[in-house]
Structure 1
Amino acid sequence: MKVIVAMIPVLFIFFMCMKLSITIFFQHAQDDDECRITTKALFGLVRYTVRIPLIKIDKQSPGIVVAHKETVKNVSESSLKRTKYNPREIIHSFKEAKEFAQHVVHLHVIVRKFLSHVSVTKLEWQSKIGTGDAAETGMIVGIGWSLKYGLAALISKYMSLKTVPFLSITPSFQQAVSETKFICMIHFRIGHAMIAGMRIVKYWRGNRLKMKSFVNRQTNESY
Structure 2
Amino acid sequence: MLFRIRLGYFNIYYKGVGENNRFEITIRTIFNIKLFNLIIDVADLSLKEKKPVIKYNLYTKFLFRLIHKKNKKKIFSFKDMKNILHIFKGNYCDFYVLTMNILNNIKFRKFNLSLEAGFSDASLTAILFGVINGIIYTALSLIYNNAKFTKEPLISIKPHYGKSLIDSSFICILDFRCGNIIIDGINFLRKFKI
With normalisation by structure 2, the TM-score equals 0.79
Match of 2:76 among 75, 85, 100: 85
For the pair 1:37 / 2:28, whether they are aligned, the reply is no
For the pair 1:108 / 2:84, whether they are aligned, the reply is no
8 Å Cα contact 1:18/1:191 also seen in 2: no
> Percent of pairs identical after alignment?
17
Alpha-carbon spacing, 1:55–1:154, altered in 2? closer, same or farther (3 Å) = farther
Alpha-carbon distance, 1:193 to partner? 1.5
Query: Could you say which structure has the higher helix fraction?
Result: 1
Task: Report how many aligned residue pairs link the two structures.
Answer: 191
Aligned counterpart, 1:169 = 157
Match of 2:133 among 145, 149, 154: 145
1:59 counterpart letter in structure 2: L
Q: Which has the higher contact order (CA 8 A, sep 6+)?
A: 2
For the pair 1:53 / 2:26, whether they are aligned, the reply is no
Match of 2:11 among 6, 10, 23: 23
Aligned counterpart, 1:9 = none
Note the residue ranges of structure 1 that are not aligned, 5 or more in a row.
Answer: 1-12, 205-210, 219-223
Aligned counterpart, 1:129 = 117
CA RMSD for the aligned pairs?
3.1
SS of the counterpart of 1:191?
helix
Q: Report matched runs for 1:62-101 at 5 Å.
A: 62=51, 63-73=53-63, 75-82=65-72, 83-96=74-87, 101=91
Alpha-carbon distance, 1:195 to partner? 3.6
8 Å Cα contact 1:155/1:161 also seen in 2: no
Alpha-carbon spacing, 1:110–1:91, altered in 2? closer, same or farther (3 Å) = closer
SS of the counterpart of 2:135?
helix
Alpha-carbon spacing, 1:28–1:185, altered in 2? closer, same or farther (3 Å) = same
SS of the counterpart of 1:182?
strand
Note the residue ranges of structure 2 that are not aligned, 5 or more in a row.
Answer: none
1:18 counterpart letter in structure 2: R
8 Å Cα contact 2:3/2:180 also seen in 1: no
Write the distance in 1 (CA, Å) between the matches of 2:46 and 2:15: 20
Alpha-carbon spacing, 1:70–1:15, altered in 2? closer, same or farther (3 Å) = farther
Write the distance in 2 (CA, Å) between the matches of 1:147 and 1:44: 33
1:7-43 per-residue CA deviation (whole Å, 9 max, x = no partner) reads: xxxxxx4686132321111122111111001011242
8 Å Cα contact 2:126/2:159 also seen in 1: yes
With normalisation by structure 1, the TM-score equals 0.70
Alpha-carbon distance, 1:120 to partner? 1.2
Alpha-carbon distance, 1:75 to partner? 4.2
SS of the counterpart of 1:174?
coil
For the pair 1:159 / 2:147, whether they are aligned, the reply is yes
Write the distance in 2 (CA, Å) between the matches of 1:108 and 1:148: 18
Alpha-carbon spacing, 1:23–1:55, altered in 2? closer, same or farther (3 Å) = farther
Greater radius of gyration (CA): 1
Alpha-carbon spacing, 1:55–1:182, altered in 2? closer, same or farther (3 Å) = farther
Query: Could you say which structure has the higher strand fraction?
Result: 2
8 Å Cα contact 2:12/2:24 also seen in 1: yes
Write the distance in 2 (CA, Å) between the matches of 1:178 and 1:156: 26
